[in-house]
């Protein structure tokens, strides 16, 4: 298969498996969604939802989060990975949203990227999922799969994002982001598949015998 043919096959199969993918992070508004995505780094979605269920009872907007304070935020999120760093980022981000954005989460990716703890991937998720603007967030799951499926060369996450945006239609970026992640977790994980095991890998490369070594960044 050529790259475009692989992309069409992938999209067709992912749509069959996950026709209406829903964001796995619980939230009430733009602010709580931003915080949930920020917390999800090196933490499972299940754990984030457990943590935010309590956190958002106390603080579901920037002012309440700021009033809660870094120490209390940490106590509520301490079972998440990188909790001290995230607690600090949550407070700083809440303060900036209040002071610079009138208490509203900006719907501009460059402004989101200026917030503490919010990198390009997190900003892309918020822009795509909550504000409905075109973005194709690429995390380690997607970066790994794109390499195994011959959609990018693995040079960098930035290059993978660029390649995926070029080969897939913009209208489908949001769904594909979630579909890639769901498929990767279920069938093509770092330990579960090496490019020769899962249905997608075997279908795209039926004659592949060599294990695929993917890069993380």
| Catalytic residue annotation | 121, 139
Contact 165, 173 (CB under 8 A): yes
CA distance 96 to 103: 8
* Of 18, 51, 13, 17, residue with least CA distance to 35: 51
- Residue whose entry in the numeric block shows the structure tokens 């989460």: 105
* Of 176, 158, 165, 143, residue with least CA distance to 17: 176
The dihedrals phi and psi of 63, each to the nearest 5 degrees, come to: -65, -45
CA distance 98 to 15: 40
Helices (H), the chain: 3-17, 30-39, 45-58, 62-68, 70-77, 83-100, 109-112, 120-125, 140-148, 157-167, 173-186, 199-204
- 182: tokens are 């769901």
């Amino acid at each position: 298969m050529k790259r475009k043919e692989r992309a069409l096959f992938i999209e067709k199969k992912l749509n069959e498996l996950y026709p209406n993918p829903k964001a796995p992070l619980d939230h009430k508004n733009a602010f709580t969604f931003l915080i949930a995505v920020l917390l999800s780094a090196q933490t499972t979605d299940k754990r984030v939802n457990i943590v935010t269920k309590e956190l958002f009872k106390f603080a579901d907007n920037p002012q309440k989060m700021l009033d809660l304070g870094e120490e209390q935020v940490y106590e509520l999120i301490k079972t998440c990975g990188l909790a001290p760093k995230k607690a600090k980022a949550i407070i700083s981000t809440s303060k900036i949203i209040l002071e610079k954005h009138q208490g509203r989460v900006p719907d501009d990716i460059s402004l989101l990227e200026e917030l503490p703890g919010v990198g390009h991937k997190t900003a892309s998720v918020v822009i795509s999922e909550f504000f409905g603007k075109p973005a194709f967030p690429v995390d380690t799951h997607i970066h790994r799969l794109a390499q195994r499926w011959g959609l990018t060369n693995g040079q960098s996450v930035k290059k993978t994002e660029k390649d995926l945006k070029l080969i897939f239609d913009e209208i489908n970026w949001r769904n594909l982001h979630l579909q890639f992640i769901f498929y990767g977790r279920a069938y093509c994980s770092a330990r579960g598949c090496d490019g020769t095991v899962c249905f997608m890998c075997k279908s795209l490369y039926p004659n592949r015998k060599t294990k695929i070594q993917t890069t993380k960044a």
